[in-house]
Structure 1
Amino acid sequence: MVFQRYVALGDSFTEGVGDHDPTRPNGLRGWADRVAEVLAARADGAGQDFGYANLAIRGRKLRAVIAEQVEPAIALQPDLITMYAGANDILRPKVDLDELLAEYDAAVRRLAATGARVVLFTAFDPGGSGLYRPIRGRFALYNELLREIADETGATIVDFWRIRDHKDWRLWDEDRMHMSALGHHRVAVEVLDVLGVPHDLEPTRLDDAPPPAPRLQQLRENAAWAREYLVPWVHRRVTGRSSGDTVSPRYPTYGRPGTGADQPV
């Protein structure tokens, strides 16, 4: 199948945070752009038009993603929709995942009713992270509830939990919260493979990891990371602010990936 209208919904994961590119909207590329580039090339080869919209905004919790992005996505009449939301909810001190995923289910049903192919993502496995390991059970429950949604709606699942090489920190940005360019490339490959879309993206290859840094150096690096990233993140949560408060969607209407220019289809 050649997709012609692709809309991406979500938070920083889909906006592309961590995959820096100053030539693109919001200074980001991301896995969704990479997927859209392949889809655009296939549409061009088939002599068909192609449009890509990315409505994702960093920091958005699940209810905000649903409230702000689902209706605009439906209005664009896409034939492919990707949606990932909920990670920012899981990280809160308290969260009712059953109630939250019931709302997610309703949103996915609305998207699926359009006839578009809908792609959802499980959360990654935080077992290798000292920062996120204490709430690993929440991630697992979220994933199981999400798999139920996919089973009942016919949505396609990208099982991020089972992508084991994502435990390698080289696939993560220096903030330890978002994927690096290599990580976004890895997700793009997975999405295209799950969709059955032929592509020539190289599989991720990781050389042997360098030996661990001396303990003192690790402590210094951890302290520097906490000052630069963790403390501001906690402060935003305490004050009710979000990193996406002043951010707009990268592609609010259909355009060609990488151009930053709207090109209606």
Structure 2
Amino acid sequence: MSWFLVMIPVLMLIGSILMYRFIGRGEVFRFDIVQFFYAFILTPIAFVWSKVLLFLLLKNNLVQNLSDLNYLLIDNGFSVVFLYIFGFEMVHSLTKTVSLNVSRDPLYDVFGYLEYFHLWLTHLIIFGGGMLIMTILSLVNLFFPLELQLSQFLFYSFVGSGLISGGLIFVSLWLSDPKQEKGFQFMRIMKILIGLLFIIQVGGFFLKEPGLTANYLMFWWSALNFTSLVTCAFLSYRSVRVKSWLARLVDRFKHPGFDFRIQL
């Protein structure tokens, strides 16, 4: 473990210095390659390294007999502060990339560049990542049941809310579907992802056969979310009435910028 604590920051420093020479020479996901390296490679490594260091400091050296609750509070507080810093680093990486592009071409289409992130990449990651995290938590709950005691009313109310939240998620997806010049359509990708994650959860159900109890609260809530999502996706494709309702919904609530055609 000692080599990890010493070598990681040294290698990060060397890597950041060596990478800086490539600034402005390429892009990854429309980020300047150096800014992408700093934000998406170095920063996650720094996060893991600092969390390990915090754990060792609290558990082995500085604090004796630290309760699990106190450690959880300190660890979560540290993580929140780090995430705030990471958020500002992302803003810097984005604006730095814009600055580099404008310096090369004063007529660079900044609006089109930002709409790529606004209407495409961020929505793809936020919605896709959110559903992926929901599935992971669901599968973890499937293999490691919760120790909860809930009344039947509370249990069925919470689990049943998954049908409503799934529908709301689908409406949010539909309202976030921008026009594109080429490539996979946003909703097509989302529907494929919904189908795959739903199949995974169905497979988990047949593998473990969980009981309809509070011990598997997260699994059942997630399963009903995806059941609702799959149902909405199917109806949006097959039902003329649902298509008409969604079209009216889009006309009323859709962001005006979604008519901008994104260049992928």
Do Structure 1 and Structure 2 share a fold, with TM-score over 0.5? no
The bucket for the TM-score relative to the shorter chain is: under 0.3
TM-score relative to the length of structure 2 = 0.24
TM-score relative to the length of structure 1 = 0.24
Query: Which of structures 1 and 2 has the bigger CA Rg?
Result: 2
Name the structure with the higher helix share: 2
Name the structure with the higher strand share: 1
Higher relative contact order (CA 8 A, sep 6+): 1
